[in-house]
Chain A
Amino acid sequence: MGDDHEIHVIDVLDQPELAEEERILATPTVIRLVPLPCRRVVGDLSDHRAAALALDLPPPRGPDQRGTDR
């Protein structure tokens, strides 16, 4: 993705009011705010291909080259 991204990590146990605001039930949840439309993906992201697809990101380059780690 290069530098063209900004990621906020929120620990719901520390900031439940933010979880309330975003109406998050499950952890982990990734919310892609931009570009619209907003997308929400639930579950650990170990399946990179599925995660990338769900978040509408470019697919990971290869099976052994793991993308951004958690």
Chain B
Amino acid sequence: MSVADEPVHKLPTGIRGLDPLLLGGLPAGRPTLVAGTTGSGKTVMAAEFLARGILTFGAAGVFVTFEESPADLRANIASLGFDVAAFEADGRWAFVDASAQPGGEEVVGDYDLAALVARVAHAVASVGATRVVLDSIGAVFSRYSGAGVVRRELVRVIAGLRELGVTALITAERTHDYDSIARFGVEEFVADNVVLLRNVVENEKRRRTIEILKLRGAPHRSGEFSFTIVPREGISVMPLALISLREQASTERVALGPAGLDAMLGGGVFRDSVSLGSGPTGIGKTLVATSFAAASAAAGERCLLVSFEESTDQLHRNAASWGLDLAALEAAGLLRVVSEYPEVASLEDHFVALRQHVDTFGPRRVAIDNLSALERISTTRGMRDFVIGFGSYVRSADITTLLTSSSSTLVGTESVTEVHASTLTDAIVLLRYVELASEVRRAVCVLKVRGAVHDTRIHEFRIDDHGMQVGEPFTGVSGILAGSVVPSLGPAAPSALPPLARPQGDRDEAG
């Protein structure tokens, strides 16, 4: 074909999160092969491609089915939230039923698939379709003998699609998730554009991924990306950091919560920032998260508080012990508390649920307590995708976000989440236990605030019935972050012990 030099026009699929991977969409007017093992989501993607075309772009579609009957497809697609029968009644969706006949067919001589081509052309003309799906093309091979003849005829079908100028999505079976592209060498004749869907088990977790293998020489994102299939919503590809960096970053500051902590941050965090609060168990991460929610309510802004560790009741009780009435905030419509066990769903499903809460509640702030609980149900890669994806999603919506994560040891360093989250977050607050003179005390340190000056000293803090009270910096000691405190050498050293922050002083500062 002589079109090789023409720029590739992209047709947006409208499928959530997919177009950014395709850097715009599928090549318009050309066929794209979607290959995957059984249950990898091929038919779902094919159906949604048509449905989104109708709902989002007003583009009619034709569904050529080789396997399931139209009646079955209508029922199955309805579970994704698309009313195919209504689309058909509106003349925007047509089926070409190429599913097997009950009695079968006997092949006695040479044949071609001109009838199929004519039917597709007829259906395309009857609804004015610009999108066509063929699902799944491998079924033709199992129905007719002679793979060579079938291949020759499918080339004819695909040439017919090209002539019609429709953007076609052709599904094909794969036998293994990491193997040749498709059975019967289908990719040989629809080789321009190939998308692979996988449904793989990794560390005992099942994970769906999508990979754009090639796109007619057009640029696209490479590698595997997680996706999930959401009832009544369809496919949702984890967006990662694909939402382009916003042109202007917010200069507005909002309070993170505890007054002393905001002072350490240099006046709160930026409006569109993602902050990470990290510390060992019991140090006060949930307190910071609930203070964040309270600060949001105080500013008259809605906050979504997601807990993966504690039940709603526990959260209310703990907040009450810090002088915070979460129920009142909920009643005022300023707070939504969502409490989930991580194990009830996959990470991708949690992501979608979070997004749905954000969409329905419309918060200006989101707090997640805590990410480490999610690690139990995730792979390292999945966790990173989650943090990047969620971060870019909330940033683009101008939502102030606080994530908490547990460090694995009581004193000192690092857990997996921190490794991945720390480079992806704008502000990091470390909470640590400090052993000083046979006493365990609490320390807080602002490790970074992107784009702002902050207090670099390590402060002591206490938790009382008014929440988190940040006191004076530790002086005369070092090694707090490393977990082994030693007296500092130098002129200030001899006194060794820092002055204990007195409760009364804390209150003054917090008030």
Asked if A41 and B116 sit within 8 Å, CB to CB, the answer is: no
Complex CA gap A47/B122 in Å reads 32
Asked if B111 and A28 sit within 8 Å, CB to CB, the answer is: yes
Asked if A37 and B109 sit within 8 Å, CB to CB, the answer is: no
Complex CA gap A26/B115 in Å reads 5
A46 interfacial by beta-carbon distance below 8 Å? yes
Tell me the residues in window 72-108 of chain B with beta carbons closer than 8 Å to chain A beta carbons.
Answer: 96-99, 101, 103-108
Complex CA gap A47/B106 in Å reads 13
**Given A26-B112, A43-B109, A45-B108, is A20 in contact with B101 using a C-beta cutoff of 8 Å?**
no
Min Cβ gap A15→B in Å is: 9
Asked if A27 and B112 sit within 8 Å, CB to CB, the answer is: yes
Q: Which residues of B contact A46 (CB under 8 A)?
A: 109
For A10, give the chain B residue with the smallest CB separation.
B115
A3 interfacial by beta-carbon distance below 8 Å? no
Min Cβ gap B109→A in Å is: 3
Asked if A26 and B108 sit within 8 Å, CB to CB, the answer is: no
Asked if A41 and B121 sit within 8 Å, CB to CB, the answer is: no
Min Cβ gap A51→B in Å is: 5
Complex CA gap A37/B102 in Å reads 11
Per-residue CB contact flags for chain B residues 97-141 toward chain A (1 = under 8 Å, else 0) read: 111010111111111111110110111000000000000000010
Asked if A37 and B111 sit within 8 Å, CB to CB, the answer is: no
* A20 contact from B104, B109, B111, B123, Cβ within 8 A: B123
Asked if A40 and B118 sit within 8 Å, CB to CB, the answer is: no
Asked if A23 and B110 sit within 8 Å, CB to CB, the answer is: no
Asked if A44 and B109 sit within 8 Å, CB to CB, the answer is: yes
Per-residue CB contact flags for chain A residues 29-50 toward chain B (1 = under 8 Å, else 0) read: 1000000011111111111001
Min Cβ gap A63→B in Å is: 17
* B104 contact from A19, A26, A40, Cβ within 8 A: A40
Complex CA gap A12/B111 in Å reads 14
Q: Which residues of A contact B178 (CB under 8 A)?
A: none
Tell me the residues in window 2-24 of chain A with beta carbons closer than 8 Å to chain B beta carbons.
Answer: 12-13, 16-17, 19-20, 23-24
Complex CA gap A50/B107 in Å reads 9
What are 9 contact pairs spanning A and B, CB under 8 A? A16-B122, A20-B122, A23-B98, A27-B115, A28-B111, A29-B111, A40-B105, A43-B110, A45-B109
Chain A interfacial positions (CB closer than 8 Å to B) = 12-13, 16-17, 19-20, 23-29, 37-47, 50-51, 54
**Lowest 3 CB-CB distances: which A-B pairs, in order?**
A43-B109, A16-B122, A44-B109
